[in-house]
Chains A and B, each alone.
Chain A
Amino acid sequence: MAGLDYTWLLDPVYQQWLLKGVGITLELAVISSLFAIVIGLVATLALTLRIAWLDALIELFVELFRNTPPLLQMLFFYFTLTQLGFTVEDPVTGLQKPLFSAFASACVSLSLFGGALCVEAFRSGMEAVPKATLEAARALGYTRLGLFRHVQVPIASRVCLPALTNVLTNLFKTTSQSSVITVPELMYAAGQIYNDTFRTLEVMLLVLVIYVVLVSLLAWGLSCLERLFAYPGYGNGG
């Protein structure tokens, strides 16, 4: 397209805003991914115990977070927790301020959203372990824990890697939505820059490319991991 003007990129101020935005995006993505994986692991572990009421509650949690917009979840966490009384006194001004900053509430909501997706991914991995394999292992005298540790986890963790790639890239992409609750990540930095330079098209194209590169890198890294753990007979590695 003709007439694209990227001279503003030479300005160190804008470079710094972009870099800071990328840094906060990465921070947000890493923190929420870690929490999401932990939530997913704990919930999947709980699911293997087959406690009916607990499983029903986990299922409800997953469905609730999967079927509502993450943007709305973020707004909900950011605005309503304050109203429910989660506030602290600001040491400087003595006024009540929210317990969670915009960044923290984005982390909380992204972790819960990603956690719900992770539970789905891990559970489908566990379900992919063939029943015959489990029966064979039980016939060989594995205990419940041994079965879990030596049979279910090694197979399921390999099978669920492609699904986990989907979840983590999805989560990374969702971090851009936290710009709506004023978390100063990449998308927010973009807004600041085009408000300053009026170069909306150029800024958005650049940000689009940055996001695509980052997400592609993440997906590529996870696919390398997939190949590393490939297991004959299960998934794509066979």
Chain B
Amino acid sequence: MLSDVLYIRRKRQTKQAVAILTLLLLVFTTFGHGASQWMLVVARLPLLLTGSMSGWPITGGFALNIFISIISMAAATVMGVLLGIAMMAHRGWLRRPAILLMNFLRNAPWLVLLFSMLYLLPYHAELFGIRFDFSPVAKSIIGLSLPTAANFAEIIRGAVQSIHAGQWESARSLGYSHLQIYRLVILPQALRRIIPGWMSLYALLMISTALATVTGVQEVVTLLRTTLAMESESTLIYFYVAVLLMFFFYCYPIALLARRLENKTKGDAI
């Protein structure tokens, strides 16, 4: 059995070796017959990233994926907090429907929810005299934020319930009210456990924005497929690798940070 230090060092060395090999492979293919193909990918890169050929104005592409993910996450956070609170309510008429809704949204495939939202939501609605137009982007944001909210509600519930019951009892014996216990004792501790889950949920949501292609918005997968329809077949793999790497390099740091935070909070389960 290797010592821990040596093990970690060897592991890092292997990762570096893989990175160098990949780079070498890229360089090799660039000087080999892959050069023209990579040039095509590079020429189309502004289109894939921003949705317009010159890179400005931003009309879609990977930037739209990021936009959708951020807005959906914001909406999901608000809805998830409300749903999470409702799921922990003492009143049964509030708790039971909330749990039912959470289970429904969590057990439905993201793609099917997204597709349903596409048809369920009207093209425009009028609320308090203001006219709301539901563009495909708005519909995909709503469709993606619903399952995310359900997952976030479950994360909140898990974090709050993982706080030891003794904390409740001692806080109550000190004369705190129910709301005060939440605000001063439970939430500060729960927040530390919610944040890693929230971050990895964001990474998951970002990955799922690729599904928005079914609603026909000009995000990166839609653009990829229309681009490939114009290009020759031999460039296929280069384009796919480029888009896969886009997602990987965006989501991996987030997932890594989430894991690190999670490991930090692992010890304090009192």
Contacts and interface: CB of A to CB of B under 8 A. Distances in A.
B132 interface: no
Contact of B221 (A72, A212, A215, A219): A72
Interface in A9-37: none
Contact of B207 (A57, A63, A67): A67
B197 to A, nearest CB: 12
A67 B7 contact: no
B15 A56 contact: yes
A216 interface: yes
B185 interface: no
A68 B18 contact: no
B107 A212 contact: yes
B116 A80 contact: no
Interface string A203-238: 011011001100110010000000000000000000
A174 B213 contact: no
Contacts of A59: 11, 15
Contacts of A67: 203, 207, 247-248, 251-252, 255
B54 interface: no
Contacts of B116: 204-205, 207-208
Interface string A40-82: 0000000000101101110110011011111111011001100
Contacts of A60: 15, 18
Interface stretch (B83-91, B174-182, B234-242): B234-242
B142 to A, nearest CB: 14
Contact of A72 (B13, B104, B214, B247): B247
Interface string B82-123: 000000000000000000000110011111110110011000
B103 to A, nearest CB: 7
B7 A52 contact: yes
A145 interface: no
B119 A201 contact: yes
Contacts of B112: 176, 187, 204, 207-208, 211
A80 B214 CA distance: 21
A204 B109 CA distance: 12
A52 B255 contact: no
Interface string B218-235: 000100010010000110
B10 A68 contact: no
Contacts, number: 130
Interface string A118-157: 0000000000000000000000000000000000000000
A182 interface: no
A64 B248 contact: yes
B237 A68 contact: no
Interface size class of B (residues with CB under 8 A): 35 or more
Contacts of A72: 210, 221, 240, 243-244, 247
A76 B213 contact: no
B109 A174 contact: yes
A104 interface: no
B14 interface: yes
B119 A76 contact: no
Nearest to B4: A50
A1 to B, nearest CB: 9
B36 interface: no
A177 B111 contact: yes
A106 B10 CA distance: 35
Contacts of B104: 212
A93 interface: no
B210 A71 contact: yes
20 contacts: A50-B2, A52-B14, A60-B18, A68-B244, A71-B213, A75-B221, A75-B240, A79-B240, A83-B233, A84-B237, A169-B107, A176-B109, A177-B111, A177-B211, A180-B213, A204-B116, A208-B112, A208-B113, A208-B116, A211-B109
Given A56-B15, A67-B247, A70-B207, 19 more contacts: A50-B2, A53-B11, A56-B11, A56-B14, A56-B18, A57-B18, A60-B18, A64-B248, A67-B251, A68-B247, A69-B221, A72-B244, A75-B240, A83-B233, A169-B107, A173-B108, A173-B110, A207-B112, A211-B112
Interface of B: 1-2, 6-7, 9-15, 18, 103-104, 107-113, 115-116, 119-120, 203, 207-211, 213-214, 221, 225, 228, 233-234, 236-237, 240, 243-244, 247-248, 251-252, 255
